[in-house]
Chains A and B, each alone.
Chain A
């Protein structure tokens, strides 16, 4: 399973939640970090060996969610999108 943490454009907040989920030290995050627009970044595996990604959807959240979950079903992969906004 893949877990994707996302927000509109708040890269730091997204990273913070993902770091918490994985169990990493939040102090390691650069407060000025920028995830870019609609780019997926792999962060690591959580305690249940789920792949964790972070991304900013920037605009049109429903299109972002539809593409991520739609392609997930095309490739028969379970996807969880966690919108932290």
Chain B
């Protein structure tokens, strides 16, 4: 199976959720700023790369984990991605699951993400996103844990 964590720009929430999934970030404690900032692709994606799937690794169930930004029109793009992946996967015997990591967002991540990625004020925006992620970290852990339970059932 291919698992795609999606969010607005593919730079913060989806990266953190997929990193928890892959074991790059802990599930039993809130990670430090250094741990969050050392995650691959964290606060890196450029505006023109939104929509490009980023490979995060292969999990313990041999699922491939990806991250993808979908911009404002996530609802339409999620449907299109499912349909398109179904076309592509039908002859390859694999399936796809799209997880909306934006359910874990708060205003600190939102504003920090805008300042860092859009306004290019990285020194202000990046620490703000880290703070926001630390505040909502339990929701990220819960999201990933629910997904892994669902995968086991499947």
Chain A bound to chain B? yes
- Spell out A's residues near B (CB within 8 Å): 2, 37-40, 42, 55, 58-60, 62-68, 70-72, 74-75, 77
Interface size class on chain B is 20 to 34
Which of B50, B64, B68 sits near A62, CB closer than 8 Å? B50
In whole angstroms, how far apart are the Cα atoms of A62 and B69 in the complex?
12
New A-B contacts (20) at CB < 8 Å, excluding given A62-B51, A66-B52, A70-B53? A37-B73, A37-B76, A38-B73, A38-B79, A39-B79, A39-B83, A40-B80, A40-B83, A40-B87, A42-B87, A59-B72, A60-B50, A60-B51, A64-B77, A67-B53, A67-B70, A67-B81, A71-B53, A74-B66, A75-B89
A77 CB contacts on chain B under 8 angstroms: 88
B84 touching A60 by the CB < 8 A rule?
A: no
In the bound complex, CA of A77 to CA of B104 (Å): 33
- For B55, the closest partner residue in chain A by CB is A74
A-chain residues with CB within 8 Å of residue B97 when the two chains form the complex = none
Q: Give A69's nearest chain B residue, CB to CB.
A: B52
State A72–B76 Cα separation when bound (angstroms): 18
A62 closest partner in B (C-beta): B48
Alpha-carbon distance between A16 and B79 when the two chains are bound, in angstroms:
25
User: Does the CB pair B72–A75 fall under 8 Å?
Assistant: no
Q: Which residue of B lies closest to A59 (CB)?
A: B73
Check if A68 sits within 8 Å of B84, measured CB to CB. Answer: yes
Chain B residue with the shortest CB-CB distance to A73 = B53
What's the nearest-Cβ distance from chain B to residue A59, in Å?
6
Q: A38-B73, A40-B80 are in contact. Are A67 and B88 (CB under 8 A)?
A: no
Q: In the complex, which residue of chain A has the Cβ closest to the Cβ of B81?
A: A67
Smallest CB–CB gap between B7 and chain A, Å? 13
